[in-house]
Amino acid sequence: MISLENENIRVTFAEKGAELRSITAKATGLDYLWKGDPAYWGKFSPVLFPVIGALKDETYYVEGKEYHLPRHGFARDHDFVFEQISDTEVLFTLSATPDTLAVYPFEFVLGLRYTISGFSVSCTYEVHNPADQHLLFSVGGHPAFAAPITDEVTYEDCYLEFAIDESLIYHKIDNNLISDQTDSLHLDKGKMFLKHSLFYDDALVFKKMESRMITLRNTINEYGLHFRFNDFPFFGIWAARDADFICLEPWCGIADGVAHNQQLSDKEGIISLSPGEHWKRVWEVEVF
């Protein structure tokens, strides 16, 4: 495991998928990340690239040619190149290979830069287009946080507190695709208490959310975290069936709609990066 630490926290990572694996507070020994129990869901915080969610029939087209990608793309299953920038910063990099070009016809350089400061960990997605054609991609996060964080707390004692007390409209999932059916999530003074049944029909997918920070708290003790995600247009909230975690997922991109034409250039939320250009977005978690 690769690690960063300061006087407050110790954070670990894996080269496979450049995946964040733990966020441990030194004073308490509490790990705020999900443990990755494969009986429920064996991942911790996968990166989603070059697509988010599912493609219709796992198929898309670029300039008339057919390609296939699994749900959430391939980056999470590849080993990244690791570079220690400083005592508080690491950079993981993945570049195009013949294998990726066979399923995704674009040159790219994807970076995940992790930085720690105080009780916070930030994850910066950095995408560079080294080619002479536009790069079409989506990228996003899927970090899973322990809920509860301590043993005396139950899942139902935990709640999400949104920075803005808003009525949230989420899109329902139909065979892994975004349907036109919506429902409302009504907050109670900005709070959404967790229930396993909330996610029995898959993730809650939001195309519009005014809150740029969500806090995970519980009614029993003071432990929790702040999750900040400026400049991500889409957001997902998910947990595996009856598992004690909550995924807070900032996305630049979204799964295909049920009526999508499968043209990558027409995909909702797709980013088109000009030749030679750089792009980045940041999310941050602060534990307490």
User: Mind listing the domains of the chain with CATH numbers?
Assistant: 2-287 (2.70.98.10)
Residue 218 has a pLDDT of 98
Q: What is the mean pLDDT of the chain?
A: 97
CA gap 255, 50 in Å, rounded = 11
pLDDT of residue 79: 98
Q: What's the rounded mean pLDDT across residues 117-128? A: 98
Shortest CA distance to 236 belongs to which of 283, 288, 189, 188? 283
pLDDT (0 to 100) of residue 280: 98
Per-residue model confidence (pLDDT) at position 19 = 98
Please report the pLDDT score of residue 78 as a whole number. Answer: 98
Q: What is the largest CA-CA distance in the chain?
A: 57
DSSP 72: T
pTM of the model: 0.96
- Percent of residues, the chain, with pLDDT higher than 70: 100
pLDDT tens digits, residue range 39-67?
Answer: 999 999 999 999 999 999 999 999 999 99
| pLDDT tens string 139-153 | 999 999 999 999 999
* % the chain with pLDDT above 90: 99
β-strand partners of 279: 127
Q: Residue 7 has which token pair? A: 């006087």
Q: What is the reported pLDDT for 44? A: 98
**CA 238 vs CA 116, 152, 191, 244: distances in Å:** 25, 23, 16, 11
229-246 as b/e, with b when 16 or more CB fall inside 10 Å?
beebbbbbbbbbeebbbb
Per-residue model confidence as pLDDT tens digits over 77-109: 999 999 999 999 999 999 999 999 999 999 999
Q: How confident is the model at residue 183 (pLDDT cuts 50, 70, 90)?
A: very high
